[in-house]
């Protein structure tokens, strides 16, 4: 109870800064800030309260007070990191620092192609702002657009335009440190700099990447490069009827990504990923365990989709796209049995089907695959950009999903030199047996992947330690380095203890 | 430099009006905050159609909804719908939405 009192005292102190209406106490935080897709009792890792500041100065004051009260803070931008924990913290004895009220688009520079954003700005907000003001710049967005532009980029989220590797388009951060100080990275370290959002490195060590997927500071502003609206886009979509054609398609794509012919990130999604957007599993199969191969094949044929479905989208000048489209078609010809379906968009036409992200939450619908109370866990190992290696990873992971009684839901999203293999364990949160199997499967996936040389690019809050532990070169030298930095820059361990398996000294006993 | 207008300003106006105690159109708030999923063609409507008959899946046309039920569902989530917290949708706006959905159709 003494601990509970400490958190309540801190919340009262925070209320004096932000106003009582912007503080959430323990009873409500238990469900308002819980993991909406939780694979176990969400209350077991919900926070003790939340505070929602509206300014950088309020964030600084809260951080200082948190240090004085000995309570840690879990910063969230909009809390829509579904499948990875959503708004939930790593440990329950913590106050969530909810940055959703800091939702200003501070600047969009049309000539130089960037935006300066606060963490509460959602993809929907940025889209509406750009289109309402007829700004000829496109954002990139992940599958659903409810989340934070800043939060997604900091978590290294992925989109589907040439700017789809979001973390690589960050240029300049403003950060509140664990002691409440304010700093700006890159050229922003020079007061009055004219190139904060233009030159990403600054002078001396560059720290932008150190504030991504980390707990070294709280990002309160972020520069992001935006893509000039292209003159034309060409979509080349393909449905591969046989699962075994995946390696040939990946090997055909690799040189096109490597030499820049294809700049966006095509995603090879499996048949379940496509079917789950259309109906629940019971429409196709009423039995238990994974859908048998013959049943799935009949469902696939009936739906008129491939076992793998993907689109190569080209963005740029019309004439260049035409040349590159021919190059893409030639690269796949004879390697796979299917043909590309081609469509085109030209500037001035409605944006739908242009390749520009549109506000959509449709991707969330897949969690209804099993009906009931849908939930999911996302397992995301990185694969070499090789058909043979991707096939090995796919067959191994699919086998583990199916041995655990789950349908394999997944896809490979192509970076320039790697594949993000994003899979989801879809479950019904009202079925304890299913949750137990999901919780058992997930760490097995992590360890099996590591034994094969594959690490995750991102993971759920409940398994930060397991994934961090798998990055074990030289007996975990990277983790020791991260924790040495953490202890130096945040000596009281105020910011997000345990985030990405980085534990400050005071909380190291909590490591799993 | 350009400051936020349009969508953000609309949301701010709706939220601000609710907090100030001035009348808020529940219909406007519903369309601004809920229709991305609960419009006739939204994913949530598609999901509800798997469970409910006919027009009952379209919240704006559904009969028998109580305001109290709406508020509990929004704050706690239900089925595949995540919860929506106070910092994201203030109590005044939620009240207006609940009254709108409870009202005659």
A311, part of any domain: yes
Is residue A31 less than 8 Å (CB to CB) from chain B? yes
Task: Determine the residue of chain B that is closest to A120 in CA distance.
Answer: B88
Mean pLDDT of chain A: 97
A107 and B2 in contact by Cβ < 8 A? yes
Measured in whole angstroms, how far is the alpha carbon of residue A30 from the centre of its chain?
A: 24
What are the tens digits of pLDDT across the range A191-247? 999 999 999 999 999 999 999 999 999 999 999 999 999 999 999 999 999 999 999
Q: What is the CATH number of the domain that holds A311?
A: 3.40.462.10
A162, part of any domain: yes
**What is the rounded distance in angstroms from the CA atom of residue A379 to the CA atom of residue A448?**
12
Per-residue pLDDT, averaged over A347-352, amounts to 95
What are the tens digits of pLDDT across the range A111-126? 999 999 999 999 999 9
A124, part of any domain: yes
Residue-level pLDDT at B16 = 41
Shared domain check, A269 and A210 = no
A85, part of any domain: yes
A197, part of any domain: yes
- Out of A228, A254, A277, pick the residue that ends a domain: A228
Residue-level pLDDT at B6 = 36
B6, part of any domain: no
Shared domain check, A194 and A262 = no
B76, part of any domain: yes
Per the structure, the complete domain to which residue A501 belongs is given by: 464-510
Q: What is the CATH number of the domain that holds B62?
A: 1.10.760.10
**Tokens 């599993």 identify what position?**
A281
**What is the rounded distance in angstroms from the CA atom of residue A450 to the CA atom of residue A447?**
5
Task: Determine the residue of chain A that is closest to B77 in CA distance.
Answer: A36
Of the partner residues B6, B44, B50, the one whose CB lies closest to the CB of residue A132 = B6
Catalytic residue among A33, A45, A48, A84: A84
Q: What is the CATH number of the domain that holds A10?
A: 3.30.43.10
Flag residues of chain B having pLDDT under 70: 1-23
B16, part of any domain: no
pTM of the model as a whole:
0.95
A365, part of any domain: no
Residue-level pLDDT at B54 = 76
A37 and B82 in contact by Cβ < 8 A? yes
Q: How many domains does chain A have?
A: 4
B66, part of any domain: yes
B4 and A104 in contact by Cβ < 8 A? yes
B71, part of any domain: yes
Helix (H) / strand (E) element for A394: namely: helix A387-403
- Out of A98, A126, A159, pick the residue that ends a domain: A98
Is residue A187 within 8 A of residue A202, CB to CB? The reply is yes
Shared domain check, A241 and A183 = no
What are the tens digits of pLDDT across the range A135-154? 999 999 999 999 999 999 99
Helix (H) / strand (E) element for B98: namely: helix B91-102
A373, part of any domain: no
Per-residue pLDDT, averaged over A51-65, amounts to 98
Q: What is the CATH number of the domain that holds A480?
A: 1.10.45.10
pLDDT exceeds cutoff 70 at A91: yes
**What is the rounded distance in angstroms from the CA atom of residue A460 to the CA atom of residue A365?**
20
A31 and B83 in contact by Cβ < 8 A? yes
Per-residue pLDDT, averaged over A67-84, amounts to 97
**Minimal CA separation from A484 to chain B, in Å:** 35
Per-residue pLDDT, averaged over A269-273, amounts to 97
Q: Got the DSSP string for A327-353?
A: HHHHHHBTTBS---EEEEEETTS-STT
pLDDT exceeds cutoff 60 at A164: yes
Residue-level pLDDT at A159 = 95
Residue-level pLDDT at B23 = 54
| A129 is an active site residue | no
A31 and B1 in contact by Cβ < 8 A? no
- Out of A176, A206, A228, pick the residue that ends a domain: A228
Per the structure, the complete domain to which residue B57 belongs is given by: 26-102
Q: What is the CATH number of the domain that holds A154?
A: 3.30.465.10
Q: Residue A143 has what DSSP assignment?
A: S
Per-residue pLDDT, averaged over A302-308, amounts to 97
Q: How many domains does chain B have?
A: 1
Q: At A459, is the pLDDT very low, low, confident or very high (cuts 50, 70, 90)?
A: very high
* Residue of A19, A29, A31, A83 best to disrupt the B interface, most CBs of B under 10 A: A31
B1, part of any domain: no
């Amino acid at each position: 109870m003494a601990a509970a009192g400490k958190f309540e005292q801190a919340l009262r102190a925070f209320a004096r800064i932000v106003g009582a209406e912007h503080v959430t106490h323990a009873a409500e935080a238990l469900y308002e800030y819980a993991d909406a897709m939780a694979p176990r009792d969400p209350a077991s890792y919900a926070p003790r309260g939340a505070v929602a500041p509206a300014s950088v100065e309020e964030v600084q004051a809260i951080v200082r007070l948190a240090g004085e009260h000995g309570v840690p803070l879990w910063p969230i931008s909009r809390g829509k990191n579904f499948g990875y924990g959503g708004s939930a913290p790593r440990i329950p004895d913590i106050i969530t620092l909810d940055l959703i009220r800091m939702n200003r688009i501070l600047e969009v520079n049309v000539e130089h192609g960037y935006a300066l954003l606060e963490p509460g700005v959602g993809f929907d907000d940025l889209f509406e702002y750009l289109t309402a003001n007829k700004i000829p710049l496109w954002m990139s967005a992940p599958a659903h657009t409810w989340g934070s532009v800043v939060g997604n980029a900091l978590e290294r989220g992925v989109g589907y335009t040439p700017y789809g590797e979001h973390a690589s388009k960050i240029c300049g951060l403003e950060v509140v440190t664990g002691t409440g100080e304010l700093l700006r990275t890159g050229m922003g370290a020079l007061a009055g700099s004219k190139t904060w959002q233009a030159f990403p490195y600054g002078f001396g060590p560059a720290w932008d990447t150190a504030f991504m997927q980390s707990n070294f500071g709280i990002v309160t502003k972020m520069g992001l490069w935006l893509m000039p609206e292209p003159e034309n886009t060409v979509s080349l979509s393909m449905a591969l009827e046989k699962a075994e054609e995946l390696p040939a398609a990946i090997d055909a794509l690799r040189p096109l990504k490597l030499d820049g012919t294809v700049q966006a990130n095509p995603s090879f999604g499996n048949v379940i990923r496509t079917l789950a957007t259309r109906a629940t599993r019971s429409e196709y199969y009423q039995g238990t365990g994974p859908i048998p191969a013959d049943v799935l094949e009949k469902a696939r044929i009936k739906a008129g989709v491939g076992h793998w479905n993907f689109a190569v989208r080209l963005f740029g000048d019309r004439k260049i796209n035409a040349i590159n489209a021919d190059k893409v078609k030639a690269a796949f010809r004879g390697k796979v049995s299917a043909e590309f379906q081609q469509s085109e968009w030209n500037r001035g036409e409605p944006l739908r089907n242009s390749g520009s992200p549109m506000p959509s939450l449709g991707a969330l619908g897949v969690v209804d695959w099993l009906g009931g109370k849908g939930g999911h866990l996302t397992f995301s190992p990185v694969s070499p950009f090789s058909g043979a290696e991707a096939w090995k990873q796919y067959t191994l992971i699919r086998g583990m999903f199916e041995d655990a009684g789950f349908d394999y839901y997944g896809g490979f999203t192509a970076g320039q030199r790697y594949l993000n293999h994003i899979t989801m364990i879809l479950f019904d949160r009202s079925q304890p047996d299913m949750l137990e199997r999901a919780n058992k499967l997930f760490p097995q996936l992590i360890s099996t992947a590591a034994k094969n040389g594959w690490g995750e690019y991102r993971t759920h809050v409940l398994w930060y330690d397991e994934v961090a532990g798998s990055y074990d070169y030289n007996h975990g030298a990277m983790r020791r380095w991260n924790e040495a930095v953490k202890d130096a820059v945040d000596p009281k361990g105020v910011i997000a203890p345990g985030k990405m398996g980085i534990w400050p000294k005071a909380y190291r006993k909590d490591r799993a | 430099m350009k400051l936020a207008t349009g969508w953000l300003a609309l949301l701010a106006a709706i939220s601000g009006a609710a907090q100030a105690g001035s009348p808020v159109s529940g219909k406007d708030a519903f369309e601004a905050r809920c229709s991305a999923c609960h419009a006739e063609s939204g994913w949530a409507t598609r999901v509800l159609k798997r469970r409910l008959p006919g027009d009952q899946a379209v919240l704006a046309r559904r009969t028998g909804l109580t305001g109290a039920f709406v508020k509990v569902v929004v704050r706690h989530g239900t089925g595949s719908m995540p919860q929506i917290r106070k910092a994201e949708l203030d109590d005044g706006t939620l009240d207006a939405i609940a009254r709108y959905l409870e009202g005659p159709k």
